[in-house]
Structure 1
Amino acid sequence: MRKPFKVILTLCVLIAAISVIWYIKSYSETDQSRLTLFGNIDIRQVQLTFHDPEHIAQMYVKEGDQVTKGQLLAIQDLARFQYTLDSAQAKMDAQQQVVNRLLNGTRPEDIRRAKADVKSAQAEVAYTKKELQRLQSLVKKKLTSKESVDRARSEYIAAREKMHALQEQLDLAVIGPRKEDIAAAQAILKANESSLKLAKKVWQDGHLYAPSDGIIQDRILEPGDMANSQSPIYTLALVNPVWARVYVSEQDLGKIHQGMRAQIYSDSYPDKSYSGWVGYISPTAEFTPKAVETVELRTSLVYQVRVFACNAQNELRLGMPITVSIDLTATEDIKTKATSCTGSL
């Protein structure tokens, strides 16, 4: 009776030992095939401000509202900006007319008028010249005074100078404006155009738009408050792309690389996993000891890793604690974000 009992006992011990060895081996293989990391969904914030100082006229969103890129969030009082814009527009229009006048040259009507003035001046010169000659002949015969001759000479000289001035005006009218004058007028026009663009930009900056998809985390100011570039209006929490910030030890750093597939788990949805991929591995270690002398200290170094997540249902919230599991045996990497979230992982 004792012999069969010993045989059975030996078999039971042997089976138990084999089971323990199989369990340990299986656990070891499973543990080595996956890398588990812990962290949080990264919180990324943007402080939204106006560029120029002015009172807030209207605000369209509040805390907790989800906004999309390009959505209008708030407007400043635009009256002062509009006055500046109208003034810049008027100055540019006026200078444009100056440039057009110079480029078009002198009108035919003005040239004809200038020619008529020159002919009139020529006739005046001819008359005063004859009158001077007549008085000079009379003064020789002592039939007139020298004062009359001097007065006639002055009138002749004045008429001649006037004719020369009118002739120069006619020549300039025919030639047209100088290139330097046109260039100067065009330069002023360009400066006015820049002033107009700046005025339009200032007016446009009086409208606050969402720079990206996100959730309004804080509404800091209210309508009527004075806003400027140093006074945030909203705090916007960015939700796209979503990534988990985790840390990997130096010992495990060589096991992962960018593009590796990953699964993300959260306590809020314990029965659900989210597909992801390693998108960034920090090139520098954190919490580095001042003196690295032993293997134990060297292996305590950690590196930040970003694991991007497919969050179509918006269930992964900013700051949420998560667990990341990376399959170390996978051979195919994720190439792009588009294929990783739309294709099969």
Structure 2
Amino acid sequence: MKKILGLIALGVVLILALIVSQNHTEPFKVSGFIEADDIRPGSRVGGRVKQVLINEGQQVIRGELLIELEPYDLLERRAEAEAALAEAKAYHSKLVAGFRPEEIAEASAKVDQLKARLTLLVNGPRRQEIESAVAELRLADAQYRLAKSQQSRIETLFAEKTASQDELDTANTELQVAAARKAVKEQALELLKEGTRKEEIDEARAQLTQAEDAWQLMKNGSRREDIEQAAATVKKTEANLQTIEKQISELKITSPADGVVEAVDLEPGDLVGSNVPVVSILDLDQLWVRCYVPENHLDIHVDQKVKVTIDSYPDREFAGVISFVSRQAEFVPRNVQTPEERSKQVFRVRVRLQNQERLLRPGMSADVWLDQTGDRS
């Protein structure tokens, strides 16, 4: 009886072992290579290299200056743009504020002055002005005749050698001055007798009209259209300054992320084109494995945790997370009819790795173990 019970117990154990062995599946392994995002910063403006501040293999952080280009005339253009903006803002502020009371009063006084001048020109010279001019001419004529008489007397004495050359020269000069003064008075009297010319009246009237318009503009204040145009000019100059500032900022090429300089081949004096990458930076903190999974093992999903082994570290396992599964198969045969042929279809998968210890590097071969539990047996 005991022998029979022992056989039964042995049979149960064998059956359980068979069931466990049938339910247990070996984890599926796919191979690939570790990759990293290759960041290639550059400049939108280009130019000549001023200084290179990095070397290959150097660790850099986000925002760190890598390469600087020569500014050429950008700094002068910025200064001109700043001055133009200040001028535009001042003019706009002046239009908005309007004219000061003293400026309006000054314009009003100018109008009154031009009105008085126009009235004088239209009315012509007064009788008293003509009489005064006649009297001035008579006085100038008397002075001329006196100078003429004096010059004749000195000339006679000089001929008799009783007057010096200096006395004769002085007499001649006084005669010339008296003659010129008499001619001026004669011309002034003739102008008064002729009256004001039409051209002078027209010119005075035009000056008065212009002054009145300016005075009225000051009283009314600036027009809305002028203020809007001045505001538009301010915006235009601001945009121009911002463009130049952006170009100046592009002269300094900085690292867009933390990483390691993979390649740089520039020296001061080299020319760099616009929008051309100048350095290669690898982000070693966020590495990933590119691998291809057959269709019959595609029971995986994004955010699934997996184990990753690296040939360079055979005794270690690294944690990975599936971050991408392609929706389209690759390497598809022309005719897919059997399950064996369908297994030839593969889907691209990306497995993200953590690399805080910096043991992993792009290019290393890696094995990704795909099993439901994420454990290797």
How high is the TM-score relative to the length of structure 1?
0.77
Query: Are residue 310 (structure 1) and residue 354 (structure 2) matched?
Result: yes
Partner in structure 2 of residue 90 of structure 1: 83
Partner in structure 2 of residue 288 of structure 1: 332
The equivalent position to 2:25 in structure 1, one of 31, 48, 53, is 31
The equivalent position to 1:171 in structure 2, one of 216, 225, 250, is 216
Partner in structure 1 of residue 93 of structure 2: 100
1:215 and 1:28 map into 2 onto residues whose CA distance is 49
Partner in structure 1 of residue 103 of structure 2: 110
Contact 2:285-2:358 at 8 Å conserved across structures: no
1:80 and 1:162 map into 2 onto residues whose CA distance is 46
2:104 and 2:347 map into 1 onto residues whose CA distance is 83
Contact 2:121-2:196 at 8 Å conserved across structures: no
Match of 1:284, SS state, is coil
2:199 and 2:51 map into 1 onto residues whose CA distance is 77
Amino acid at match of 1:273: E
2:86 and 2:352 map into 1 onto residues whose CA distance is 53
- Deviation of the 1:300 alpha carbon: 0.6
Contact 1:131-1:152 at 8 Å conserved across structures: no
Partner in structure 2 of residue 229 of structure 1: 274
> Which structure is higher in RCO with an 8 Å CA cutoff and minimum separation 6?
2
2:237 and 2:81 map into 1 onto residues whose CA distance is 7
The equivalent position to 2:42 in structure 1, one of 25, 49, 52, is 49
The equivalent position to 1:217 in structure 2, one of 262, 268, 272, is 262
Amino acid at match of 2:58: D
- Deviation of the 1:89 alpha carbon: 1.6
Cα gap change, 1:40 to 1:178, in 2 (>3 Å): same
Query: Are residue 76 (structure 1) and residue 98 (structure 2) matched?
Result: no
Equivalenced residue count is 303
- Deviation of the 1:162 alpha carbon: 3.6
C-alpha RMSD over aligned residues: 3.1
Which structure 2 segments of 5+ residues have no match? 1-6, 128-191
Could you say which structure has the larger radius of gyration? 2
Partner in structure 1 of residue 176 of structure 2: none
- Deviation of the 1:77 alpha carbon: 1.3
Amino acid at match of 1:275: A
- Deviation of the 1:96 alpha carbon: 1.9
Cα gap change, 1:26 to 1:312, in 2 (>3 Å): farther
Partner in structure 2 of residue 185 of structure 1: 230
Contact 1:132-1:153 at 8 Å conserved across structures: no
Deviation string, structure 1 residues 216-252 (Cα, Å, up to 9, x no partner): 1111222210012354321112224222112111001
Contact 1:215-1:238 at 8 Å conserved across structures: yes
Amino acid at match of 1:304: R
- Deviation of the 1:205 alpha carbon: 0.5
Cα gap change, 1:123 to 1:64, in 2 (>3 Å): same
- Deviation of the 1:43 alpha carbon: 3.6
Which structure 1 segments of 5+ residues have no match? 1-10, 135-146, 331-345
How high is the TM-score relative to the length of structure 2?
0.71
2:315 and 2:24 map into 1 onto residues whose CA distance is 20
Cα gap change, 1:128 to 1:282, in 2 (>3 Å): same
1:206 and 1:266 map into 2 onto residues whose CA distance is 42
Contact 2:85-2:238 at 8 Å conserved across structures: yes
2:373 and 2:245 map into 1 onto residues whose CA distance is 58
Give the fraction of aligned pairs with identical amino acids, expressed as a percent: 28
Amino acid at match of 2:25: D
